């Protein structure tokens, strides 16, 4: 789909599902990446609480606070002029409704993301904040159980589902069972209504891709390394620095 000037809303995503148009999402945590993704015409920018591990280098058990998510969410929102911005409610946020309202009002989120829990989804949706509900298909979970879970989340008021590890059998069954869009991050597939990818993974921006082949859409890590090496060489040789 060609990018347009009009802002993407929840209603836009629902219309895309009805029309059979795939939803493109990326996970981002800063203004420049949000601006670039927005210019590329992505439909959804998800501000994940994975920022702690993937951007700040924290351990898995070092949670991100609601105050930190507010800063990151606002940064992405400033860069996204068209895409719908979703922000994770971090696990340690406490009152999910209060956190969701803060992310919407202070962070500028157009919707918030929650782990699957129909009661919490319902409470947040009733408070007026659209919900992006996440659930998983790991292991040998029966298709019927996954379909039921998706239906419960839709009935609770979820506006969008992030169905991870969907698989080519359960994935299409869930997509057909609900009227709201079903997109996927980890372990998704073309059978869903759309896909979400970490922006840094899409562009190959991580040290691990300096020395290994990057199965990505770019290799920003090697470009960055080459640029820093060239900068260092110019400084050490007393040459003019590019950009001065």
What is the rounded distance in angstroms from the CA atom of residue 236 to the CA atom of residue 232? Answer: 6
Considering only CA atoms, which of 130, 37, 22, 19 is closest in space to residue 83?
37
Pick the range with the lowest mean pLDDT from 50-54, 73-77, 129-133: 50-54
Token couple for 4 = 């347009």
What is the rounded distance in angstroms from the CA atom of residue 43 to the CA atom of residue 73? Answer: 16
pLDDT of residue 4: 52
pLDDT of residue 137: 82
As a whole number, mean pLDDT of residues 113-128 equals 94
Which residues have C-beta within 8 Å of that of residue 55, sequence separation ≥ 6? 29, 30, 200
Domains of the chain: 10-203 (3.20.20.60), 206-244 (no CATH)
What is the rounded distance in angstroms from the CA atom of residue 244 to the CA atom of residue 208? Answer: 31
Residue with tokens 């148009």: 21
* pTM summary value: 0.93
% of the chain at pLDDT higher than 70: 98
As a whole number, mean pLDDT of residues 165-183 equals 95
Which residues have C-beta within 8 Å of that of residue 43, sequence separation ≥ 6? 1, 8, 12, 13, 16, 23, 24, 25, 83, 84, 194
Residue 212 predicted with pLDDT over 90? no
Rounded mean pLDDT of the chain?
93
What is the rounded distance in angstroms from the CA atom of residue 48 to the CA atom of residue 109? Answer: 12
What is the rounded distance in angstroms from the CA atom of residue 132 to the CA atom of residue 149? Answer: 14
In 70-227 the beta strands, taken as DSSP E runs, fall at 84-88, 111-115, 131-136, 160-164, 182-184, 194-198
Instruction: Note the pLDDT tens digit of each residue in 2-59.
Output: 445 689 999 999 999 999 999 999 999 999 999 999 999 999 999 999 999 999 999 9
| Rg of the chain (C-alpha set) | 19
User: Are 185 and 174 a contacting pair, CB within 8 Å?
Assistant: no
Residue 222 predicted with pLDDT over 80? yes
User: Is 172 or 61 the better-scoring residue by pLDDT?
Assistant: 172
């Amino acid at each position: 789909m060609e990018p347009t000037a009009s802002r993407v809303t929840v209603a836009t995503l629902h219309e895309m599902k009805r029309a059979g148009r795939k939803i493109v999402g990326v996970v981002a945590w800063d203004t420049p990446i949000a601006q670039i993704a927005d210019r590329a015409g992505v439909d959804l920018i998800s501000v994940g609480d994975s920022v702690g591990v993937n951007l700040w280098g924290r351990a898995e058990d070092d949670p991100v606070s609601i105050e930190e998510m507010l800063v990151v969410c606002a940064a992405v929102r400033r860069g996204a002029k068209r895409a719908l911005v979703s922000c994770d409610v971090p696990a340690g946020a406490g009152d999910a409704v209060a956190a969701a309202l803060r992310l919407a009002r202070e962070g500028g989120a157009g919707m918030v993301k929650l782990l699957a829990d129909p009661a919490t989804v319902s409470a947040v949706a009733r408070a007026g904040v659209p919900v992006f509900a996440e659930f998983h298909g790991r292991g040998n979970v029966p298709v019927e159980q996954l379909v039921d879970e998706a239906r419960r989340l839709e009935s609770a008021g979820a506006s969008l589902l992030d169905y991870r590890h969907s698989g080519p059998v359960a994935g299409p069954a869930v997509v057909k069972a609900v009227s709201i869009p079903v997109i996927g991050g980890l372990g998704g597939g073309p059978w869903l209504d759309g896909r979400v990818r970490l922006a840094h993974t899409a562009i190959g921006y991580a040290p691990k891709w300096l020395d290994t082949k990057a199965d990505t859409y770019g290799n920003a890590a090697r470009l960055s390394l080459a640029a820093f090496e060239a900068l260092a060489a110019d400084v050490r040789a007393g040459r003019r620095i590019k950009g001065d």
